[in-house]
Amino acid sequence: MKRLFRGAPPLCLAQFRPGRDNWSVISSHGLTNEIWEKLNIMQGGFCAYCECQLGEDNTKRHVEHFVRKGQDPDVTFDWNNLFGSCNNPNRCGNYKDEHPAAKSIDIAKVCKPDQMDPSEIILFLNSGEVRARSDLNQKNKELADNTIAVFNLNGDSTLENSRKAAIAGEKRLADEYWEMLAGDDSGELAQLLEQELHKALERIKVSQHSTALQHLWEYNEQF
């Protein structure tokens, strides 16, 4: 889960009104792909929550309402409430909306990635797991724990293994960086190491599970 920056809304949303129209009018008017064009600009083609690559097959992805439209119909066509999610039933938007434990969590106490950087509260480990950062106050600890729980970011073995595989593909280079960093007592390699880190972070921006890879390079924490 990473920080997202929301752009201008799809123009089609303005023609519909909560109470008068149901969300189904989007597909019946052939507007789903217009919304996905804007979501993909914001999300780079990845799920907003688990950061898996999303294909163009709409049976394997869905337009996700952060606040459930059944909970608050006024947000049905609100661009600021929409994200693109994978269609995996064991995590992300589907899990949030369907699993009893996730539905019991107050969505106002969950990190919304276009308003807050999830990396400020959540740490991705080299093991493929995630956890709340250890230096959080009580409010942010609750926010982190709720976010991990509501999207099941730490309870789906398929997701954990996918993150672990992505980390494994990058770990040798990151380990070399950390070994050089630990051995640079004089600071002679500081500029070179800073350049290497910058190049790595730029390269992984367009990778699946880029936040896990970012944390591998920046923190390299196993537990």
222 pLDDT above the threshold of 90: no
The proportion of the chain whose per-residue pLDDT surpasses 70, expressed as a percent, equals 100
Taking all residues of the chain, what is their mean pLDDT, rounded to a whole number? 96
Give the residue-averaged pLDDT of 124-144. Answer: 97
Q: What is the pLDDT of residues 42-62, one digit of tens each?
A: 999 999 999 999 988 888 999
Q: What is the pLDDT of residues 81-115, one digit of tens each?
A: 999 999 999 999 999 999 999 999 999 999 999 99
223 pLDDT above the threshold of 90: no
**Secondary structure string (H, E, C) spanning the chain:** CCCCCCCCCCHHHHHCCECCECCHHHHHCCCHHHHHHHHHHHHCCECCCCCCECCCCCCCEEEEECCCCCCCHHHCCCHHHEEEEECCCCCHHHHHHHCHHHHCCCHHHCCCCCCCCHHHCEEECCCCCEEECCCCCHHHHHHHHHHHHHCCCCCCHHHHHHHHHHHHHHHHHHHHHHHHHHHCCCCCCHHHHHHHHHHHHHHHCCCCCHHHHHHHHHCCCCC
Which tokens sit at 81? 């409430």
pLDDT at res. 133: 97
pLDDT at res. 94: 97
pTM: 0.94
160 pLDDT above the threshold of 90: yes
CA gap 8, 109 in Å, rounded = 26
